[in-house]
């Protein structure tokens, strides 16, 4: 049974961690699959939206596979293979402009929450629990968690969660703005698919452009962001899709997007 599954249906890619018996902990096979799938989503023109989820109903991911990590650390340093956790991965260093939705089906702790935070929109099952508990083991959330959590929720609350290692349930995560929506477990994937389909109705180049503008712009001054908006808007206006949108409106028909 593969530890990671990548499949596509129409314009949507599905990235699924498939280790339910190990609480979907992320081992070398999961990491390899995740990095390859993230690259494929970014480069494949036929994919417009991705959904990241996991098998079973207990865990989205409990984070790094600590058993595998312990085995790796037991190997003499001069004989160790590369670390199971790659330096460049979706949480840090691999940025794509296509929208990515996390369907959080259960526990998302440590690297599991870091993976969810690498996605743009997070939908959680009512049974989900989320947090960064690394300090309980005298380590830090070192795969982007310490930086992204304070950017997504109120700073004081982020500090509380980082310093206590406490988890929050799905409703509290929603209240804090960490997840966009909470749904019954049996509605989780249909809800994510409905959102993905809704996004796919829009011009794909425009969707990618607004994502890029949001992520890059939040790191800039307003003046710099406005210049970037003009630059990307000018580039987008020359695309076939930008011409198709007004034409379809004038002709009272549904636009046919080509992604170019």
Pick left, alpha or beta for residue 7 (phi over 0 → left; psi -120 to 50 → alpha; otherwise beta).
Answer: beta
Residues forming beta bridges with residue 169, ordered by sequence position: 129
Catalytic residues, which ones? 114, 134
Q: What is the mean pLDDT of residues 166-179?
A: 97
What pLDDT is attached to residue 83? 64
Other beta carbons less than 10 A from residue 94's beta carbon: 15
Contact 170, 129 (CB under 8 A): yes
Q: What is the mean pLDDT of residues 25-42?
A: 95
Residue range 68-81, pLDDT digits in tens: 666 656 677 666 66
What pLDDT is attached to residue 235? 93
Residue range 185-238, pLDDT digits in tens: 999 999 999 999 999 999 999 999 999 999 999 999 999 999 999 999 999 999
Residue 64 is encoded by which pair of tokens?
């790094």
Q: How far apart are CA 13 and CA 47, in angstroms?
A: 6
State what percent of residues in the chain have pLDDT above 90: 79
What pLDDT is attached to residue 244? 80
DSSP string spanning 71-105?
HHHHS-GGG--S-SS-SSBTTBB---SS-EEEEE-
User: What is the CA 149 to chain-centroid distance, rounded?
Assistant: 13
State what percent of residues in the chain have pLDDT above 70: 93
Lookup result for tokens 């310093």: 163
Q: Which domains does the chain have, with CATH numbers?
A: 4-200 (3.90.226.10), 204-250 (1.10.12.10)
Other beta carbons less than 10 A from residue 136's beta carbon: 12
What pLDDT is attached to residue 1? 86
Q: Is the pLDDT confidence value at 104 over 70? A: yes
What pLDDT is attached to residue 78? 64
Q: How far apart are CA 116 and CA 170, in angstroms?
A: 13
Determine the 3-state secondary structure of 183 from DSSP.
strand
Residue range 109-134, pLDDT digits in tens: 999 999 999 999 999 999 999 999 99
Q: Is the pLDDT confidence value at 90 over 80? A: yes
Q: What is the mean pLDDT of residues 1-18?
A: 96
């Amino acid at each position: 049974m593969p530890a990671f599954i990548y499949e596509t249906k129409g314009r949507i890619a599905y990235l699924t961690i498939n280790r339910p018996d190990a609480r979907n902990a992320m081992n070398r096979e999961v990491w390899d699959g995740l990095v390859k799938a993230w690259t494929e989503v970014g480069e494949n023109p036929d994919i417009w939206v991705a959904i990241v989820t996991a098998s079973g109903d207990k865990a989205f991911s409990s984070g790094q596979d600590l058993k595998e990590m312990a085995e790796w650390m037991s190997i003499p340093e001069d004989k160790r293979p590369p670390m199971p956790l790659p330096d460049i991965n979706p949480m840090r260093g691999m940025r794509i402009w296509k929208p990515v939705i996390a369907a959080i089906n259960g526990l998302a702790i440590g690297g599991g929450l870091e993976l969810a935070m690498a996605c743009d929109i997070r939908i959680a099952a009512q049974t989900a629990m989320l947090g960064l508990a690394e300090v309980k083991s005298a380590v830090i959330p070192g795969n982007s968690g310490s930086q992204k959590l304070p950017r997504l929720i109120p700073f004081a609350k982020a500090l509380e969660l980082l310093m206590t290692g406490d988890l929050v349930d799905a409703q509290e995560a929603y209240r804090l703005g960490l997840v966009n929506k909470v749904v019954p477990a049996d509605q989780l994937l249909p809800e994510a698919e409905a959102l993905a389909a809704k996004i796919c109705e829009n011009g794909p180049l425009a969707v990618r452009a607004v994502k890029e503008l949001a992520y890059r712009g939040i790191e800039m001054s307003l003046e710099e962001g406005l210049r970037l908006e003009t630059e990307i808007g000018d580039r987008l206006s020359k695309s076939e899709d930008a011409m198709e949108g007004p034409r379809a409106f004038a002709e009272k028909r549904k636009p046919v997007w080509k992604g170019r």
